[in-house]
């Protein structure tokens, strides 16, 4: 019994550290991706745009600095939806229950207006991707929400406008959610891909019924597990997981 207890204790000490987010690099159908999965039922998943003085964070480093002042750390982050030149959201944006921009239901220019588009909604204990009109009908109460487009996967089907032989290749990022809202899976391509290829990643590889495109050229990822924190031009909305900062004591 003593020997068994000692072995169990040794195994516990040797167990790998638990992460708030599980990130890994993966290959699928000839393309390379970085994928970060969040347990939305447990983790502090939220959106960020401006600090307490109304200044847009714009960069992961600015957000990290602000969180450090609260004794917190950024476990993961990525840009979360399209924005205007002043970094204000193009569509619906809710942060900590406060709505900064209304839901946009009409078609328009660019990828955002390539209907159907959708909403990433974070609620207590879950996160969901909704097609915009379904979101409008259901009216879920989101603590955080961001609208973007186009939808990548809609109830298990790829967006009807995606072409298998498209020649539009970009680095792309987005999010997909499970039917029960517990899994929020974020992906960014490590090489240029088409919408069809990117949507297929979420539907066929990650097995997620709904997924939403965030952006292309300005796609960024903050994933300490992968030794990665992308810099570049200022971003608009950012989605991330917050955890308590580790102590050196």
pLDDT tens digits, residue range 14-70?
Answer: 444 557 899 999 999 999 999 999 999 999 999 999 999 999 999 999 999 999 999
Per-residue pLDDT, averaged over 180-203, amounts to: 98
Q: What is the pLDDT of residues 194-240, one digit of tens each?
A: 999 999 999 999 999 999 999 998 899 999 999 999 999 999 999 99
CB 178 within 8 A of CB 198: no
Q: What is the pLDDT of residues 79-115, one digit of tens each?
A: 999 999 999 999 999 999 999 999 999 998 789 999 9
Helical spans, DSSP H, in 81-163 = 132-138
DSSP, collapsed to helix, strand or coil, labels residue 217 as: coil
Rounded-to-integer distance, Cα 23 and Cα 21, Å:
6
Burial class (CB in 10 A: 0-12, 13-18, 19+), 73: middle
pLDDT at 156 (0 to 100): 98
pLDDT at 34 (0 to 100): 98
- Backbone φ, ψ for residue 246 (5° rounding): -70, 150
pLDDT at 3 (0 to 100): 53
Q: How far is CA 106 from CA 19, 103, 109, 113, 131, in A?
A: 40, 10, 10, 7, 13
CB 212 within 8 A of CB 129: yes
Longest dimension (CA), the chain: 70
Least confident range of 11-25, 79-93, 163-177, 179-193: 11-25
Rounded-to-integer distance, Cα 6 and Cα 161, Å:
60
| DSSP β-ladder status, 157-158 and 144-148 | unpaired
pLDDT at 109 (0 to 100): 79
pLDDT at 10 (0 to 100): 42
Q: What is the DSSP letter of 178?
A: -
Q: What is the DSSP letter of 124?
A: T
Q: 94: which 2 tokens?
A: 């809710």
pLDDT at 247 (0 to 100): 57
pLDDT at 20 (0 to 100): 82
User: Residue 8 — pLDDT band, cuts 50, 70, 90?
Assistant: very low
């Amino acid at each position: 019994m003593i020997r068994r207890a000692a072995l169990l204790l040794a195994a516990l000490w040797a167990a790998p550290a638990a992460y708030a987010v599980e990130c890994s690099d993966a290959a699928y159908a000839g393309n390379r991706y970085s994928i970060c999965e969040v347990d939305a039922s447990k983790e502090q998943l939220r959106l960020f745009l401006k600090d307490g003085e109304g200044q847009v964070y714009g960069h992961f480093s600015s957000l990290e600095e602000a969180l450090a002042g609260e004794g917190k750390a950024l476990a993961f982050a990525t840009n979360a939806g399209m924005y205007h030149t002043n970094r204000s959201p193009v569509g619906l944006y809710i942060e900590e229950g406060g709505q900064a921009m209304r839901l946009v239901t009409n078609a328009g220019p660019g990828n955002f207006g390539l209907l159907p588009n959708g909403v990433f909604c974070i609620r207590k204990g879950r996160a969901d991707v909704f097609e915009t009109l379904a979101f409008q009908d259901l009216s879920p109460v989101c603590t955080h929400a961001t609208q973007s487009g186009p939808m990548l996967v809609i109830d298990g089907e790829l967006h009807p406008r995606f072409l298998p032989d498209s020649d539009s290749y970009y680095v792309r990022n987005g999010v997909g959610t499970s039917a029960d809202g517990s899994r929020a899976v974020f992906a960014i391509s490590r090489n240029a891909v088409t919408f069809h290829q990117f949507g297929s990643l979420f539907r066929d590889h990650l097995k997620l019924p709904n997924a939403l495109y965030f952006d292309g050229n300005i796609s960024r990822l903050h994933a300490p597990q992968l030794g990665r924190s992308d810099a570049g031009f200022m971003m608009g909305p950012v989605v991330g997981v917050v955890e308590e900062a580790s102590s050196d004591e």
